[in-house]
Structure formats: C-alpha cells, structure tokens
C-alpha cells in the first residue's frame, strides 16, 4: 500500500527560520520571506560517479511512484519535495533527502506537505544566543601557501595553459558548544536576506549564486564572477562599484562564467536572453558583477527536468574555470583539499522536475560531533589576478559564515 503524502494550504505562521515541529530540522532553502523549511527524514540516498545527476533523477521518480500524492494546492514547489546537495567532483558522494514535513511560503501563500495520516503542529522558536567560544585553525593550506598557489595559477594562465581557474581554500573552527543548523540559519538570515539560505545534511550557507531555476518551461541562471570587498562607507562603496563595473580583470572573469552558462543551456533552451552588460550585486560584505541569463525550454527537447540542466551546467566557469578540464586538473594539483559538497549544486526539486539549484558557496560543513565546522571560499584567477588581492577577497567571502558563528 502506498504511503500518503498530503499538501494543504496554511494560514499565518511564524517566519520560516523560526518554525519548529516535533522533528529536527533537516533541510532549508530560504530567500527573504519565501522558501522551504523541512523537518525529519523520510528517506535519503547517495549518488556518485559520472551519471550521478541522471541516477538522482531516476531515484526521485521511483520514490514518487511509491507515494499516494494528495496535492490540494498545485503549482511549482507543491507536493513532494526532495532536497539535494551534490559534490563538486563526481568521485565524491552527493546526497538526496526526502523530509517528512516541508513548510513553504511563496508569493504571499503558504502550504505544508507531510508524510503520514496526521497533519503536524507547527510552533515558533527564536534561538537565544549561546556564546560560542571558537578556536580557528588553517585548513589544507596556510595563507602564504594558498597565495603561492594563486601565483602559480597566474603563471600557468600567462603561459597559455588555460584562461581561468577558481581556487578554493578552507578554514576550520572548533567550538566549545554544539553548533546547531537551526541557530546558524537564523543568524545568517539576519544579515543576508537577499541570498539563498540552504541546509542539507550539515552543509549550510548563504549563497548569492543561483545555478539554475526551472519553473514550468522558464529557465533562469544568475551568474556571479568578479568581486570587490565593501568598506562600509557608502560613498566609497559607490565608487568601488563603479570601478568594479569597469575593471578589465573582473569583466574578463565574468565573461568566461556567462559564456559557459549560455553554452550549457543552448541545447535545451530557445529565446535565450543575455544582457549586454552585468549589474553590480550589493551584499553586506562584498559586491559582485552579476548577470541573469534566461531562456525557454525548446518544445522539441525531450523531457527536461532540473537534474538534466544541472548535469549540463556543472561545473560552470564560476566555480571551476575555463577550459573546464584544464581548470579541474589545476585545482586537483594546487588546492590540496577535498571540496566535498562545496561549490556543488544545492537546492530542491518537486514532483514535476521543476526546482531551484544554487551553488554551495559562502558555506560551511558542520562536523559529525557538531563541535567543529569547516568553512570554504574560492576566487576566480585570471591573467590579471594578484595573490594579495585574491587572499583579501577570499577572507571577505569567509566573512558571512564567520560572522554568523560569532553571533551564536
């Protein structure tokens, strides 16, 4: 007998990040007032290897076939939802989680989906500050060693081996108290409401980059590449935004990223729209060059779900480099670390194959003991890059998670 999964409209409820149930928080995807918050775990699954996106899609379709779906709301994001967190490299495990309870708010409407016979009760909780004491230590590379890797990358680029590479680094914090995902989500939300706040299996962050959204037949991808650190002085930051928009180094880096996304979408989408110039996205700690690429799925294309689009898009030049194979080889040689699910696609998918996938940036992975967390940051390196400036940029990109932790 199939297990029933039900979706019903909700009335007023607390802010998504403050909702709690009798089950632990298992996943989230929140931007501003809208998004998803999920509790408990009905099923989870791991995929790995070159066919991981296709295998993830097949597993999700099989799980759907075993559910009795009663969807009284309808539309994108209603009914059963699976949360996904894919690794950057195909040889590392990627995770899929089907929660027991999902609460959604979208465009002023709210609904709840649950597995089982009885609709769960919701309550509110604002998590008080617990005053973590954190001990920081280097990850795979020291600052000077990572700067040396940047310099080596610039040399390889100037020698013509590749055009761009994205180098990442990690930083580890040890805590004297348990680091809870719910507390971190609430802390991040207070400072970064314009980003996508995500949580899947202890990977948590506030990403500004949307790899792809599929809503019926409309495809959207927000490309970020080119960064400058904010000073906190409004007039100074306005001038810096202008310099970023004119920076030949940053515009070159951004062009590679946009081109890689447009080429990946070309087999699937018609009427693709790419603005003539990027805009400057203002975040509390940094500013980015940003471009929103949009398109419509071809009528002639075979059934396209978001897994198929992600397979074509990942890894983009924004997180790997150009050409992809050469950049990936250099990353393996110089980074000295396993990225795990950092810089991989993360998000949600509904029963129709629609959904949203961000790139797991500005994030950290909480350790199994919940007393440590590993933070990540990456920078796009091109011929005009400076090791000193890239190190400063990486420190700025670590700031969202560092500051969120200090507020706990």
Angle CA 78–83–89, to nearest 5: 145
- H or E element: which one contains 67? strand 67-71
**Torsion sign, CA atoms 270, 274, 275, 281:** positive
Distance CA 88, CA 77 (A): 25
Please say if 51 is a catalytic residue: no
Are 224 and 281 in contact by the 8 Å Cβ rule? The answer is yes
Question: How large is the angle between the packed helices 324-334 and 143-158, nearest 10 degrees?
Answer: 150
Structure tokens, 2: 């199939």
Could you say which of 209, 255, 356, 393 is catalytic? 209
Question: How large is the angle between the packed helices 248-265 and 306-313, nearest 10 degrees?
Answer: 140
Please say if 209 is a catalytic residue: yes
Distance CA 115, CA 82 (A): 13
Distance CA 250, CA 84 (A): 31
Q: Which residues, at least 6 apart from 1, have a Cβ–Cβ distance to it below 8 Å?
A: none
Are 196 and 31 in contact by the 8 Å Cβ rule? The answer is yes
**Torsion sign, CA atoms 156, 158, 162, 167:** positive
Half-sphere exposure (Cβ direction) of 200: Cα atoms closer than 13 Å: 31
* Bridge partners (DSSP) listed for residue 1: none
Distance CA 176, CA 130 (A): 11
With b meaning 16 or more CB within 10 Å and e meaning fewer, what string describes 185-206?
bbbbbebbeebbbbbbbbbbbb
Could you say which of 18, 163, 164, 255 is catalytic? 164
Known catalytic residues are 164, 209
């Amino acid at each position: 007998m199939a297990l029933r999964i039900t979706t019903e409209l909700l009335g007023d409820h607390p802010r998504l990040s403050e909702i709690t149930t009798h089950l632990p928080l298992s996943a989230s995807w929140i931007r501003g007032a809208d998004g998803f918050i999920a509790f408990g775990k009905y099923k989870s699954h791991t995929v790995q290897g070159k066919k991981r996106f296709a295998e993830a899609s097949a597993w999700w379709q099989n799980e759907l076939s075993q559910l009795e779906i009663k969807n009284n709301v309808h539309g994108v994001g209603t009914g059963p939802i699976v949360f996904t967190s894919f690794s950057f490299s195909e040889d590392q495990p990627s995770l899929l989680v089907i929660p027991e309870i999902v609460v959604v708010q979208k465009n002023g409407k709210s609904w709840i989906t649950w597995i089982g016979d009885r609709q769960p009760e919701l309550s509110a909780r604002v998590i008080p500050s617990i005053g973590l004491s954190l001990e920081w230590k280097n990850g795979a590379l020291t600052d000077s060693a990572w700067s040396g890797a940047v310099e080596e990358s610039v040399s390889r680029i100037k020698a013509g081996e590749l055009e761009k590479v994205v180098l990442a680094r990690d930083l580890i914090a040890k805590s004297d108290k348990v680091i809870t995902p719910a507390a971190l989500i609430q802390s991040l939300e207070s400072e970064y409401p314009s980003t996508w706040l995500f949580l899947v299996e202890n990977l948590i962050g506030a990403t500004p980059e949307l790899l792809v959204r599929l809503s019926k037949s409309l495809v959207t991808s927000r490309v970020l590449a080119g960064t400058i650190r904010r000073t906190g002085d409004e007039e100074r930051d306005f001038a810096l935004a202008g310099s970023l928009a004119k920076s030949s180094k940053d515009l070159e880096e951004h062009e590679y990223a946009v081109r890689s996304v447009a080429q990946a979408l070309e087999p699937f989408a018609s009427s693709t729209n790419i603005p003539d110039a990027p805009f400057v996205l203002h975040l509390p700690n940094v500013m980015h060059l940003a471009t929103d690429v949009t398109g419509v799925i071809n009528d002639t294309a075979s059934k396209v779900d978001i897994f198929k689009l992600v397979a074509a898009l990942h890894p983009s030049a924004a997180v790997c480099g150009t050409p992809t194979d050469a950049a990936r080889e250099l990353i393996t040689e110089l980074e000295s670390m396993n990225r795990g699910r950092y810089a991989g696609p993360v998000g949600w998918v509904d029963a129709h194959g629609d959904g949203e996938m961000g790139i797991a940036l500005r994030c950290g992975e909480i350790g199994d003991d919940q007393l440590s967390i590993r933070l990540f940051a990456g920078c796009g390196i091109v011929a005009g890059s400076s090791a000193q400036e890239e190190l400063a940029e990486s420190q700025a990109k670590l700031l969202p998670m560092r500051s969120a932790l200090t507020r706990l």
